[in-house]
Amino acid sequence: MKACPNCGEEVIGREGKKFCSTYCKSNFHYERRKEKQSSLFKKIDKQLKLNRRILKNYNRAGKATVREEVLNSHGFNPNNFTHYWKSKKGEVYLFCYEYGFLSFTDAKGTRKYILITWQQHMEN
Picking from 85, 76, 71, the residue whose alpha carbon sits closest to that of residue 46 is 76
pLDDT number for residue 42:
81
| 99 φ/ψ sector (left φ>0, alpha ψ -120 to 50, else beta) | beta
Q: List all residues 6 or more positions away from 27 whose beta carbon is below 8 Å from its beta carbon.
A: 6
pTM of full prediction above 0.75: no
Q: 60-83, pLDDT tens digit by residue?
A: 998 999 999 999 999 999 999 999
pLDDT number for residue 109:
96
pLDDT number for residue 1:
73
Q: 94-115, pLDDT tens digit by residue?
A: 999 999 999 999 999 999 999 9
Give bridge partners of residue 48 from the DSSP assignment.
none
Domain ranges in the chain are: 1-37, 40-123
What DSSP letter does each residue of 52-86 carry, written as one string? HHHHHHH-SSSEEEEEHHHHHHTT--TT--SEEEE
Q: 36-67, pLDDT tens digit by residue?
A: 766 788 889 999 999 999 999 999 998 999 99
pLDDT number for residue 34:
77
